[in-house]
């Protein structure tokens, strides 16, 4: 290899014999890579890598130093990226999964408890709320979640994912306690909005931490397992209301949502900080110590190494999401989740009513909703395993199509058993597919923008979540036959599948080199 101008990027194939023979295996920070020529000593900084079908190319920043080589004829060169991938310890993965599962479970309780106490709240003679006011109180948390998702998701890339996750759980737990003592509906609604900010931030941050601390071949499954806590939380809210609402009243049931605040110290002790965040902030020594303690010691770096290494800023994060090279992926993810949540929330709201129009009594129509929910919870684990083995994009696209076909088939006069099967497929092809898509999104973007990218996408998708019930209500109130409800939601499933199918393949993304030079040889 000849000396290259200072700052020039040189592409070196893995099969290149002279360089390959000098690459230590395994190569890991802070291990040093030595390379010198007859006249000059070169400082090499690995700036990025991408895989090709038959060979691997490493993009190396070559900086020529006009100094004589030391007596041992070598100059230490710091390598900024580890060729070997990062793998966390199994114990670390389980710990992060448990903490994130609990955070999502607490969120599920917070979201589900409003529906559980709504009948009791409507009968409260002190407040004497109208149906419209009850609906408004229920929606304040959703509005807060809309803003919290992209705000907290972005801030977590600059202030720390661990810190923001604990802050979010603390915020919505304390506001639940305050709401249980609220003397007026206005204060109740304000506290629900503030709590919604924390609720919206939990999902993107928990998603980023789960993806980071999961082995690459288990990411989708682990994400599905972690997110199943949401369904468990909603189930807990229903059970708590069933058992304690008569004795404690709606205030007591809501107040129990503050229990997570007691667990914050334990969660803080168990949960490690994001290694990706530490590296993005240039805190390399802390990141290396964390990598050694929680995994195989490989740093997940994104730029130069050193005291002033490539700190993640607001502009860095935003450019990783909205830069021209990412616009197609961002648009596809946003539209897929928009139609996915439109489908999920629309069916959850109107499914019993639609099935009653299809000729079923109230009990049978509610049983379809139970099948839909159970299949959604179990389907997340199934789709997660399938996505890890066969690829997330193909798996999610296929099941959106299956869900769309199942919803469309419900318009026909089938037997009860067939309709239960179709309802289960609809649950897997809507809720479970959207869940795995969110995990795929978190792993698709660069490490320093995972939580922010997830938060922004989910904020936009909340618009679809709000449109789903409205669209179902419009169709139901327009005088059209019940078949048009199934046709409408089936089209939404097709649109989600199309958006996922148009996503650029993760394997074809171009690695962008960050040319940051090490100042201390």
Q: What is the DSSP letter of 88?
A: B
Q: Rounded to whole angstroms, how far apart are CA atoms 447 and 395?
A: 23
Domains and CATH numbers, the chain: 1-84 (no CATH), 86-272 (1.20.1250.20), 275-312 (no CATH), 322-506 (1.20.1250.20)
Check: CB of residue 354 under 8 Å from CB of residue 487: no
Tokens of 237: 């809210």
Q: What share of the chain is helix, strand, coil (3-state, %, to 5)?
A: 70, 5, 25
Q: Which residues pair with 64 in a beta bridge?
A: 42
Concatenate the DSSP letters of all residues of 181-202 into one string.
T-SSHHHHHHHHHHHHHHHHHH
Quote the pLDDT of residue 96.
Answer: 96
Residues 6+ apart with CB under 8 A from 441: 333, 337, 453, 454, 457
Residue with token string 């334990």 = 266
Measure Cα distances from 364 to 21, 344, 360, 454 in Å: 70, 20, 6, 37
- Written as tens digits, the pLDDT of the chain (521 aa) is 444 444 444 333 333 444 444 444 444 444 333 333 333 333 333 333 333 333 333 333 333 333 444 443 333 333 333 334 668 889 999 999 999 999 999 988 988 788 778 878 888 889 988 877 887 787 788 888 889 988 998 888 888 899 999 999 999 999 999 999 999 999 999 999 999 999 999 988 998 899 889 988 888 889 889 988 887 887 788 788 888 888 999 999 999 999 999 999 999 999 999 888 888 788 888 888 888 888 877 766 544 333 344 565 677 778 888 888 888 999 999 999 999 989 987 887 677 777 777 777 756 666 787 788 788 878 888 898 888 888 889 999 999 999 999 999 988 878 888 999 999 999 899 989 998 998 899 888 887 788 788 888 988 988 888 788 778 878 877 778 778 888 999 999 999 999 999 998 764 443 333 333 333 33
Q: Rounded to whole angstroms, how far apart are CA atoms 93 and 87?
A: 10
Tokens of 59: 């993009």
Q: Which of 306, 287, 58 is nearest to 160 (CA)?
A: 287
Average pLDDT value over all residues in the chain: 77
Quote the pLDDT of residue 66.
Answer: 37
Quote the pLDDT of residue 48.
Answer: 38
Q: Which residues pair with 41 in a beta bridge?
A: 36, 65
Q: Specify the pTM.
A: 0.68
Burial class, 38, CB count within 10 angstroms (exposed 0-12 / middle 13-18 / buried 19+): exposed
The three-state secondary structure class of 360 is coil
Q: Rounded to whole angstroms, how far apart are CA atoms 448 and 315?
A: 11
Q: Rounded to whole angstroms, how far apart are CA atoms 344 and 339?
A: 9
Q: Which of 301, 269, 240, 267 is nearest to 113 (CA)?
A: 240
Q: In what order do the strands lie in the sheet with 41-51?
A: 8-13, 56-65, 41-51
Check: CB of residue 135 under 8 Å from CB of residue 185: no
């Amino acid at each position: 290899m000849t000396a290259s101008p200072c700052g020039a990027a040189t592409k070196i194939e893995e099969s290149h014999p002279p360089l390959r023979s000098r690459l230590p295996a395994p190569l890991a920070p802070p291990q040093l890579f030595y390379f010198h020529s007859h006249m000059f000593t070169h400082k090499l900084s690995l700036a990025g890598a991408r895989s090709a079908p038959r060979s691997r190319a490493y993009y190396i920043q070559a900086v020529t130093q006009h100094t004589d080589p030391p007596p041992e004829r070598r100059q230490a060169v710091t390598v900024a990226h580890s060729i070997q991938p990062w793998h966390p310890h199994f114990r670390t993965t389980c710990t992060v999964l448990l903490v994130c599962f609990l955070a999502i479970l607490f969120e599920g309780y917070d979201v589900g408890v409003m529906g559980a106490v709504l009948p009791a709240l409507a009968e409260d003679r002190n407040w004497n709320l109208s149906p419209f006011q009850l609906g408004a109180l229920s929606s304040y948390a959703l509005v807060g979640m809309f803003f919290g998702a992209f705000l907290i998701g972005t801030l977590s890339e600059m202030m720390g994912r661990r810190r923001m996750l604990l802050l979010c759980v603390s915020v919505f737990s304390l506001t639940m306690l305050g709401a249980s003592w609220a003397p007026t509906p206005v204060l109740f609604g304000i506290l629900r909005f503030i709590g919604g900010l924390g609720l919206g931030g939990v999902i993107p941050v928990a998603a980023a931490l789960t993806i980071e601390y999961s082995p690459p071949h288990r990411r989708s499954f682990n994400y599905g397992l972690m997110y199943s806590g949401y369904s468990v939380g909603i189930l807990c809210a229903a059970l708590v209301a069933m058992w304690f609402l008569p004795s404690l009243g709606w205030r007591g049931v809501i107040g129990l949502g503050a229990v997570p605040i007691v667990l914050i110290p334990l969660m803080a002790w168990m949960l490690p900080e994001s290694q990706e965040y530490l590296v993005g902030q240039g805190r390399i020594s802390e990141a290396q110590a964390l990598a050694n303690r929680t995994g195989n010691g490989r740093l997940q770096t994104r730029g130069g190494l050193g005291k002033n290494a490539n700190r993640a800023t607001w502009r860095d994060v935003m450019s990783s999401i909205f830069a021209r090279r990412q616009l197609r992926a961002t648009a596809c993810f946003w539209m897929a989740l928009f139609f996915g949540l439109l489908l999920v929330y629309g069916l959850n709201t109107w499914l019993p009513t639609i099935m009653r129009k299809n000729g079923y009594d109230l009990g049978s129509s509610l049983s379809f909703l139970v099948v839909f929910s159970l299949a959604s919870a179990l389907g997340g684990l199934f789709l997660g395993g399938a996505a890890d083995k066969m690829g997330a994009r193909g798996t999610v696209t296929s099941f959106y199509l299956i869900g769309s076909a199942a919803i469309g088939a419900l318009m026909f006069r089938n037997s009860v058993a067939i309709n239960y099967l179709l309802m289960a497929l609809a649950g897997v092809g809507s809720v479970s597919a959207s869940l795995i898509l969110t995990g795929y999104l978190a792993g698709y973007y660069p490490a320093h923008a995972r939580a922010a990218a997830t938060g922004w996408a989910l904020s936009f998708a909340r618009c679809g979540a709000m449109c789903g019930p409205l669209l179902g209500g419009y169709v139901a109130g327009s005088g059209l036959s019940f078949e048009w409800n199934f046709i409408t939601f089936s089209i939404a499933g097709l649109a989600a599948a199309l958006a996922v199918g148009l996503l650029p393949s993760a394997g074809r993304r171009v690695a962008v080199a960050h040319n940051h030079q090490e100042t201390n040889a």
